[in-house]
Amino acid sequence: MIHPDTVVGHPRHVHRLAVGTLFFLQGLCFASWASRIPSIQQRLGLTEAALGLALLALPAGSMTSLAFSGWLVARRGSAQVVLGALVLYAGLLVGIGAVGSLGALVGVLYLFGMAGNLVNISVNTQAVGVEALYGRSVMASFHGLWSLAGFVAAAVGSAMMGWRVAPLPHFVGTLGVVLAALAASARFILPDEPGRHPAVRVLSLPDRSLWGLGVMAFCCMICEGAMFDWSGVYFQRVVHAERDWVGSGYAVFMGAMATGRFLADGLTRRLGLQRVFQVSGGLIAVGLMTAVLLPRLPTALLGFLMVGCGVSSVVPLVYGAAGRSKTIPAGVALAAVSTIGFLGFLLGPPLIGLMAEAVSLRGSFTLVACMGLGVALIGSRKAF
């Protein structure tokens, strides 16, 4: 945990701006890669099956890193880890742009996933330290900057493809932006004390106080995974949207999620963490059931808007609560809760596909709505 008394010489808003820059850079790297997937598939001549195999390497790397990232942050300090991991993350992005074969792409994506999770745990530990300086919730606004970076990177990626710029020079430019931003902000991120927790084990399971947070993250990330991977399919096959509107559900969901993250901290201060979790879970459930029971374009868009608002605050606020753990270091607590949540992100999309095959896509989305109820129920029973 980062202690406020270790911060000298800079007002707290400077540290908040520096840590917010780290979140933006993390989102910029990830979304830059995601925006150029079609270009990389075309350049390497990959089939859909081959691309799907390559894409599995990224979450595999993330899961591998979850095993030791909290330990590394506790031993070396989040400030040191986040700077090194971000440079590595952006450097591996350039590596993705330079690969010339499927095997090389799989290997670099695996390392990219590992580096991304190291950034994730260390930067959220930094955000917990900023919350300690402010004495109130600011975590969701940091995640809002990550989402904002996604929009920026998607727009840049679309422009690059329109101008027929190859991924490699695009990613080299992104690396330059990351290095310049880190050079300007590095001295303002929160210092901490490496090695303050020498007894921390590499593999640490969450204690009882963290399991509820982990399960809420699991339920929410099943919903996020469903929106990311199945929203277009749902609008095509169930809503029967016209071709130009197939992606509208995803766009509305992402816009609502990004906006909600900038509003969530203020709502948390007014309503309290428990009530925000209840409202968020309710919005997820009601939104999905609106899209299931009334599968028309206007009502489905309204439903996906509600889902975006609902999921926007859950994971950031769960991370903030985990980082305030009294029993284990913040980085270790974040890694433990993130591991449970990430399993939901991995398991959700294939589970939806299996249930859609067995029952229907509407039926599988009903199951996802139950995950929203799970967030509301656990949020109601757990004291924060």
CATH T-level assignment (fold) for domain 9-188: Growth Hormone; Chain: A; (1.20.1250)
* Percentage of residues of the chain with pLDDT beyond 90: 65
Residue type, 52: G
Q: What are phi and psi of 309, to 5 degrees?
A: -65, -40
Contact criterion met (CB below 8 Å) for 101 and 44: yes
Cα torsion through 152, 156, 158, 162, rounded to 10 = 160
DSSP letter, residue 294:
S
* Percentage of residues of the chain with pLDDT beyond 70: 93
118: pLDDT strictly greater than 60 = yes
Q: What are phi and psi of 202, to 5 degrees?
A: -60, -45
Contact criterion met (CB below 8 Å) for 315 and 276: no
Average pLDDT on 25-36 reads 93
Query: Quick one: tokens of 2?
Result: 């980062």
265: pLDDT strictly greater than 80 = yes
Confidence band of 1 (pLDDT split at 50, 70, 90): very low
- For the chain, which residues make up each domain, given as ranges? 9-188, 208-381
Q: State the DSSP H helix or E strand holding residue 172, giving kind and residue range, or none if neither.
A: helix 167-185
Query: Quick one: tokens of 76?
Result: 């070396």
pLDDT at residue 5, as a whole number: 44
Same CATH fold assignment for domains 9-188 and 208-381 = yes
pLDDT at residue 9, as a whole number: 65
How does pLDDT run across 308-344, given as a tens digit for each residue? 999 999 999 999 999 988 888 888 899 889 888 988 8
pLDDT at residue 351, as a whole number: 85
The chain-wide mean pLDDT, for the chain, equals: 90
Give the whole-angstrom CA distance, residue 244 versus residue 299. Answer: 17
Average pLDDT on 125-131 reads 95
How does pLDDT run across 360-379, given as a tens digit for each residue? 999 999 999 999 999 999 99
- Ranking 167-171, 182-186, 198-202, 373-377 by mean pLDDT, the lowest is 198-202
206: pLDDT strictly greater than 70 = no
Q: Which of 67, 58, 63 is nearest to 111 (CA)?
A: 58
- pTM here is 0.88
Confidence band of 2 (pLDDT split at 50, 70, 90): very low
Average pLDDT on 277-285 reads 97
How does pLDDT run across 151-169, given as a tens digit for each residue? 898 889 989 989 999 999 9
pLDDT at residue 111, as a whole number: 98
Sign of CA dihedral 166, 169, 171, 177: negative
Confidence band of 204 (pLDDT split at 50, 70, 90): low
Contact criterion met (CB below 8 Å) for 344 and 235: no
CATH T-level assignment (fold) for domain 208-381: Growth Hormone; Chain: A; (1.20.1250)
- Ranking 177-181, 202-206, 283-287 by mean pLDDT, the lowest is 202-206
Contact criterion met (CB below 8 Å) for 20 and 265: no
Residue type, 366: T
Confidence band of 140 (pLDDT split at 50, 70, 90): very high
Give the chain's radius of gyration (CA, Å).
20
- Ranking 64-73, 253-262, 288-297 by mean pLDDT, the lowest is 64-73
Q: Which residues contact 307 (CB under 8 A, 6 or more apart)?
A: 223, 227, 253, 256, 283, 284, 287, 288, 291, 372
Of the two residues 128 and 325, the one the predictor is more confident about is: 128
